[in-house]
Amino acid sequence: MATRVLAVDAQPWYGDRPIPDDVPPVWHFPLTCVSTDEGIDGYTMGYGANGEGIGSAHQLHDVYLRAILGRDPRQHEALWRELMSLNRHLYPISDGLLGMLDVAFWDIKGKAAGVPIAELLGVSRTELPAYRTGSHWNLTPADTFAEAAAMKQQGYRGYKLTLYDGPAADIPRAEAARKAVGDDFGLMLDAVAEYSFDQAIEVGEALGRLGYRWFEEPVPDRDIATLEQLTRRLEIPILATETVSLRELPQFLERKACDMARGDVFIKAGITGLRQASAMCEEAGMNLAIHALHSSLLDIANLHVACSVRNCEFFELHHEMFRFALKGSPLDIDANGCLHLPTGPGLGVELDWDWIDNNTVMELSGLKV
C-alpha cells in the first residue's frame, strides 16, 4: 500500500473572501493505492478539507496495513467484516478509513473482472440527475438569489442551500432562492444540525409552504427523539443519518425517525456498507440520498452505487474544486443536468498523473517500524 498526500488550494472554496485565520490555506487529501501480487492497483481517496488528510494517511498505514497484507482480494466480504470488527476497538477512528479501503478493494475487483464496479453490483441505470450544493457564504437574500439562479442556469436539476443562522435570517434566503428559480425547480435546505427544535419547526413550516423537496439534518442525527417529533409534525420530508454509522442505521428506520436517509461510501463503511444501507432503506420503503464527498474518487465510488440502486433520486455535487486529479471531467453534468456511469473497469476513471505529481507533498509506503 502506498499513499500520496495531495495539496489543494483552499481559496476557491471561499471565493472572493479571505481564507479565515483558523483554516489551513492548503488542504491535504490522501490518494492511496492498494496493490496485488498480480499487479492490479486499486485506488481510493480520503478527506482533507478539515485538516485531517495527513493524519488519515498515517492512520491507514499504521492501523490497517498489517490487517490487509497478504490477504486475498477475492475474499473481500470476509476481509470487510474483519475490518468492521477491528473498528469496534478503534475508538479514535470512525468507519471512514475502512470505507476508503473498501473503495480500493472494489476497484481491484472491477479491474480484475474487466468491468465497472456498478456492473459487479448490478446496474440499475447509467445516468442520474444531479443537484448542486451551494456555498456557506450566502450572507443576504440577494446572495442566495444570485447563487440559486446561477445553479439553474448552469444546468443542474436542483440546488441545496446550506443555512443555519436561525429563522429570521434563513427564511428570507429560502424565499429568495425560490423566487430566483421558479416553482418547478428542486430546492432543498441543509441546516447541518445547527437548529433547535423550535427553530426547525419554524423553518420547516416555511420550507413546506415554499415547496422545498426536503429539510436536511435540522438537528444532530443522534438526537433521534427530536428527529421523530419533527418527522411527525412537519409536512416537508426530513432527511437525516448522514453521520450515522451503518450499524446505527436500522434503529432510525425501525422508529421512522426520518422520511429519507443519507449515506456515502466514507461514513457508511465503503461501497459494501453503502450498498447494504441502500438495501435496508429500500426494504423500509425509504429513499437513501447519497451524500457527496469533498473527494473526487470517493464521489466516483458514490456514483457507482447510485447507478446500482433505485432509491436514490438525485446525485449531489459540491464545488468544482473537489473534482481534482481526474481526466475527462467525469463529475461534470451533461446538457440535461445528468451524470453518467463511468464505463472503464473498476472505478472506471483515469487519474491525472501530471496534476498528481505536481501536487504531491508527501509519500508513504509500506509499514513503519
Of 89, 97, 117, 112, give the one whose Cα is nearest residue 38: 112
Residue 128 lies in a domain: yes
CA–CA gap between residue 245 and residue 293 (Å, rounded): 16
Residues 187 and 243 in one domain: yes
Q: Is residue 180 part of a domain?
A: yes
The domain in which residue 301 lies consists of 119-340
**Does 68 fall in a domain?**
yes
Supply 42's cell numbers: 486499486
Low-confidence winner among 109-113, 148-152, 270-274, 363-367 (lowest mean pLDDT): 363-367
Do 106 and 163 belong to one domain?
A: no
Q: 206 vs 14, which has greater pLDDT?
A: 206
The reply to whether 346 falls in a domain is: no
pLDDT at residue 352 greater than cutoff 80: yes
Do residues 162 and 94 both lie within one domain?
Answer: no
The total number of structural domains that make up the chain: 2
Q: How many CB atoms within 10 Å of residue 368?
A: 9
- Backbone phi and psi for residue 51, each to the nearest 5 degrees, phi listed first: 85, 10
Question: What CATH number should be reported for the domain holding residue 247?
Answer: 3.20.20.120
Taking 80 as the threshold, does the pLDDT of residue 67 lie above it? Answer: yes
Strands of the chain, DSSP E: 2-9, 26-35, 41-45, 127-133, 158-162, 186-190, 214-216, 238-240, 260-263, 288-290, 315-317, 338-340, 360-365
Does residue 104 sit in the same domain as residue 139?
no
The CATH number of the domain holding residue 36 is: 3.30.390.10
Q: For the residues 70-90, what does the mean pLDDT come to?
A: 93
Q: Which of 330, 340, 275 is nearest to 308 (CA)?
A: 275
The answer to whether residue 348 is domain-embedded is: no
Judgement on whether residues 278 and 359 belong to the same structural domain of the protein = no
What is the residue-averaged pLDDT of the chain?
96
pLDDT digits (tens, 9 = 90+) for 235-286: 999 999 999 999 999 999 999 999 999 999 999 999 999 999 999 999 999 9
Residues 69 and 185 in one domain: no
Q: What is the pLDDT of residue 369?
A: 42
3 state DSSP class of 179 = helix
Q: Model confidence at 368, in pLDDT bands (50, 70, 90)?
A: low
Query: Lowest mean pLDDT: which of 125-139, 227-241, 280-294?
Result: 125-139
345 located within any domain: no
- Same domain? 14 vs 100: yes
311 and 170 fall within a common domain: yes
* In-domain check, residue 347: no
**Partners of 338 in the β-ladder:** 129
Residues 55 and 143 grouped into a single domain: no
Q: Identify whether residues 317 and 201 lie together within a single domain.
A: yes
Q: Over the stretch 10-62, which tens digit does the pLDDT of each residue have?
A: 999 998 889 999 889 999 999 999 999 999 999 999 999 888 999 999 999 99
Do 306 and 360 belong together in one domain?
A: no
With respect to residue 75, please indicate whether it lies within any of the assigned structural domains.
yes
**Mean pLDDT across 314-321:** 96
Whether the per-residue pLDDT at 311 is higher than 50: the answer is: yes
Whether residues 128 and 238 share a domain: the answer is: yes
**Distance in angstroms (rounded) separating the CA atoms of residues 135 and 144:** 9
Gap between the Cα atoms of 327 and 101, Å rounded: 22
